[in-house]
A and B are shown apart, each in its own frame.
Chain A
């Protein structure tokens, strides 16, 4: 669950004295949107994003790279002039949960991962978090999602898990939607089987309400007052 296990360690970086064109080409060539800026001793001093570059370039230059006069005007512009200094960083010992919450709070697309000496150890982007999330959901494996409405009280999950386990079905994941109706939770077991009809009948017989798939949701925005 630590960032060190999910981050990209072979980081593509750029020098603060590089031109913005150099930064732009580096991003395009590597298919990335963030370049940490480091000193010779690998100490992080900033980050430059494709948005920083776009905001200093006239549209015509992004669209067609040709126009020489326009290019000249920007040639003096260095990464140091447009980068974000002292960006938000995270430690390799942060957890994925920390990173998820921080990315939501800071509204950024990636965090440089920096150790306590200030040296760059890696970068963690939304893309890396998505990969981790797809793995946690289990949707890379063949299976079927089932939705069950339960009372919000202790012991519900055990009954559900026991009922499914008795059918010799393994779990790809179990998700719980917390913003369900008052006093209820929705449990979504992702079952690694094609054969859910028997277990669905069994859960209904046990008194659980199976949720109509068209009403499934994992997240609901708070209702506006």
Chain B
């Protein structure tokens, strides 16, 4: 059995998105309860959040944006940049804790204390652009983690796999000219889904041409199409790229019971995806797989999905 970290902290619940917002604190409670009821807590290494050092956030975000986020948040505004981005006075600090917890988890993996990990954080990150909050995201957690691994731990090639049903526009844009970070995303076709980017012809730019890959799933499609696309698009791409660490932007919102998309992945489909990511991780990245939570809004399903998720990480 692998040494799997589980980043969980009640302070992640402090980011209050108000009534009727799908990205709510209850999501993390559902994740925690699911893992606990399955009796897996004892097998996992529970990791508490720590506050990120600003210098790491600045490797991805414009300092002016960070200051603007702080000002807007602390002055009591309920939204930032778009009405979607509901927040409270604790949001800015919670976003720091999300980044810091992930970086500390990455450190533990790099120092050999852990093999892999699931980081159940809020707020999510993959829509956040260098200088703009978007789609419930403020700091791009996985992008900052990729930069941290490169700058602090000498990792040259980071592979990011984004399984959220929405395209991670922020992550793609941050790395689109960078051949040292491969961004792979599989999501609902952008003509049918937020945010409208991640089209098939977006494949990176400049030196990063060929280091971005988007696989598109149509409304109503599910497990078989995901399997087909991951085999035909992701596996060969990572075989060529040979990532030294894999970061997964994990979104459970492609589940058939999640009403944030029209995609019909089953619980078993989600397991299949992570099992195949683990194979890639074992083959190229010495098993170093860091899974970071993005979306997933069906409270009735999050428990079982997260349980299967950490079980697969434990099995390596």
Q: What residues of chain B lie closer than 8 Å to A196, measured between beta carbons?
A: 194
Interface residues of B in 179-237 (CB under 8 A from A): 191-197, 218-220
Interface residues of A in 81-134 (CB under 8 A from B): none
Q: What residues of chain A lie closer than 8 Å to B197, measured between beta carbons?
A: 142
Interface residues of B in 234-279 (CB under 8 A from A): 259-260, 262
Which of A139, A145, A193 contacts B83, CB < 8 Å?
Answer: A193
| CB pair B20 A142 closer than 8 Å | no
| CB pair A143 B83 closer than 8 Å | no
Check A222 for interface membership: any CB of B closer than 8 A.
no
Q: What residues of chain B lie closer than 8 Å to A143, measured between beta carbons?
A: 194-196
A193 closest partner in B (C-beta): B84
| CB pair B194 A214 closer than 8 Å | no
Q: What residues of chain B lie closer than 8 Å to A145, measured between beta carbons?
A: 191-192
Q: What residues of chain A lie closer than 8 Å to B193, measured between beta carbons?
A: 144
Q: What residues of chain A lie closer than 8 Å to B220, measured between beta carbons?
A: 212-214
Which of A194, A198, A213 contacts B194, CB < 8 Å?
Answer: A194
Q: With A142-B169, A168-B83 in contact, is A194–B196 under 8 Å at CB?
A: no
Q: With A144-B194, A145-B192, A197-B22 in contact, is A192–B82 under 8 Å at CB?
A: yes
Interface size of B as a range = 20 to 34
Q: What residues of chain A lie closer than 8 Å to B22, measured between beta carbons?
A: 195, 197-198
Check A12 for interface membership: any CB of B closer than 8 A.
no
Which of B20, B127, B192, B262 contacts A198, CB < 8 Å?
Answer: B20
Check A4 for interface membership: any CB of B closer than 8 A.
no
- Give A193 to B220 CA distance when docked, in angstroms: 21
Most buried by A among B192, B194, B218, B262: B194
Check A169 for interface membership: any CB of B closer than 8 A.
yes
| CB pair B219 A214 closer than 8 Å | yes
Q: What residues of chain A lie closer than 8 Å to B191, measured between beta carbons?
A: 145
| CB pair B135 A142 closer than 8 Å | yes
- Give A216 to B192 CA distance when docked, in angstroms: 10
Check A19 for interface membership: any CB of B closer than 8 A.
no
A37-72 contact mask (Cβ, 8 Å, vs B): 1 or 0: 000000000000000000000000000000000000
Interface residues of A in 189-225 (CB under 8 A from B): 192-198, 200-201, 212-214, 216
A166-195 contact mask (Cβ, 8 Å, vs B): 1 or 0: 001110000000000000000000001111
| CB pair A214 B134 closer than 8 Å | no
- Give A198 to B82 CA distance when docked, in angstroms: 17
Least Cβ–Cβ distance between B182 and chain A, in angstroms? 23
Apart from A170-B83, A193-B83, 17 more pairs, CB < 8 Å: A142-B135, A142-B196, A142-B197, A143-B195, A144-B194, A194-B135, A195-B21, A195-B22, A196-B194, A197-B22, A198-B20, A200-B259, A213-B218, A213-B262, A214-B218, A214-B220, A216-B192
Write 14 A-B pairs (CB below 8 A) sorted by A numbering.
A142-B134, A142-B135, A142-B197, A145-B192, A168-B83, A193-B194, A194-B194, A194-B260, A197-B297, A198-B22, A214-B218, A214-B219, A214-B220, A216-B192
Q: Which 10 A-B pairs have the closest CB atoms?
A: A142-B195, A213-B219, A194-B194, A197-B259, A194-B135, A144-B194, A213-B192, A193-B84, A194-B84, A214-B219
